Amino acid sequence: MLIRSWLRGADHLSVRDREDAVMTALSQTTTRRTGSPGAVMRFLLAGLLALGVTGALFLFMRALIEVAAPPPEDAPPVERIVINFKIADREPAPVAVMDIPAVEPPPPFVQIRTPSAAVEGVEGVHLTPPIMAIQLDPITTPPVAFTIPSLTGRVEPVYPQRELARGIQGSCTVRYDILASGATANLQVLDCDSPGFARASFSAVQRWTHASDLGRPGHEIVRRGVETRLDFQLE
């Protein structure tokens, strides 16, 4: 409205003067709406203060909402158990050696001779008792037959890994007794080309079985000192 009144009163002015009049009217209108320059500064300061308070509240609320994760608890120490396996060397049981008494040779042939005896009082008659020759037959001992029960279950030895990797060949001789149950007992490793062959042979012969003797107790030894040889050959 103020601009229109200015324009109505400036009909007699030139174009340049009219432009100046319009600018003056606009300046007065802006001053009336916004007030003094101090009010503008106060408005700007209030806006900045409100913005700062809003940012502070935002940060404060975020700090309240955000829950800090608890620090990780130290894991309990893991107990480490180390088990060392040691193969104990099995001591072979003593072998009971049965002494077989020596058979005495038969006594030599004995011949008894009786001298003739004269009978007194009878002349010309000589009584001579008959002489009997005693002949003793030589004593003969029947041969003792040692039969080995037949092998009914033979477990072949496992080729040792160390000897197999190195291409080692050889043999092993094992001595053992046979029980009435057919199992082996009192094993002895006599001669082996390597400790690996000895362990493999001992483990195999230990599981061998023979024909059982049902007429005797199972733990009774029916044959002693049986020797066997196991060969380890690579094809």
Q: What is the pLDDT of residue 119?
A: 44
Q: Is the pLDDT of residue 4 over 90?
A: no
Q: Are the CB atoms for 10 and 21 separated by under 8 Å? A: yes
Residues 6+ apart with CB under 8 A from 234: 164, 167, 169
Integer Cα distance of 132 and 225 in angstroms = 51
Angle at 178 between CA 226 and CA 196, to 5 degrees: 60
Helix (H) or strand (E) holding 221: strand 221-232
pLDDT band at 16 (very low <50, low <70, confident <90, very high): low
Q: Supply the mean pLDDT for the chain.
A: 72
172-209 in b/e form (b: 16+ CB < 10 A) is bebbbbbbbbbbbebbbbeebebebbbbbbbebbeebb
| Radius of gyration for the chain, computed over Cα atoms and rounded to the nearest angstrom | 65
Integer Cα distance of 138 and 141 in angstroms = 10
pLDDT band at 99 (very low <50, low <70, confident <90, very high): low
> Of 20-24, 55-59, 228-232, where does mean pLDDT reach its minimum?
20-24
pLDDT tens digits, 124-180 = 444 455 554 444 445 444 444 457 888 889 999 999 999 999 999 999 999 999 999
CA end-to-end span of the chain: 123
The burial of 210, by beta-carbon neighbours within 10 Å (0-12 exposed, 13-18 middle, 19 or more buried), is given as buried
User: What is the maximal distance between C-alpha atoms in the chain?
Assistant: 230
Tokens coding 44: 């700007």
Q: What is the pLDDT of residue 188?
A: 93
pLDDT band at 72 (very low <50, low <70, confident <90, very high): low
Handedness of CA 193, 196, 197, 198 (dihedral sign): positive
In the DSSP assignment, the letter for residue 123 is T
DSSP states of 150-202: PEEE-PPPPPPHHHHHHT--EEEEEEEEEETTSBEEEEEEEEESSHHHHHHHH
> Of 24-28, 47-51, 103-107, 114-118, where does mean pLDDT reach its minimum?
114-118
pLDDT band at 226 (very low <50, low <70, confident <90, very high): very high
Domains, the chain, ordered by start: 2-63 (no CATH), 151-232 (3.30.2420.10)
